């Protein structure tokens, strides 16, 4: 039963990662070439040596795939 809950929850979490990208594409179109975006929230954990599955990675990857430039 726990796996079913995780599947539903994990699927919802994955969809939420796309909300910002979907809104930006609705506003500017899918071709984001020539658009510059700033990433204002950077996650940092002093003892961590990886970024794991931070939602920012999904957003940045989608924007750059669309041709946008993302800066911190």
Read off the pLDDT of residues 63-72 as tens digits, 9 standing for 90 and up.
999 999 998 7
CB neighbour class for 32 (10 Å; exposed up to 12, middle 13-18, buried from 19): buried
% of the chain residues with pLDDT over 70 = 69
- Whether the predicted model's global pTM rises above the 0.75 cut: no
C-alpha 2/C-alpha 46 separation (Å) is 32
């Amino acid at each position: 039963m726990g796996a079913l809950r995780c599947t539903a929850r994990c699927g919802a979490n994955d969809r939420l990662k796309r909300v910002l990208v979907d809104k930006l594409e609705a506003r500017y179109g899918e071709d984001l070439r020539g658009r510059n975006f700033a990433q204002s929230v950077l996650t940092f954990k002093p003892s961590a040596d990886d970024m794991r599955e931070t939602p920012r990675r999904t957003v940045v990857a989608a924007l750059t795939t669309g041709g946008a430039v993302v800066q911190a």
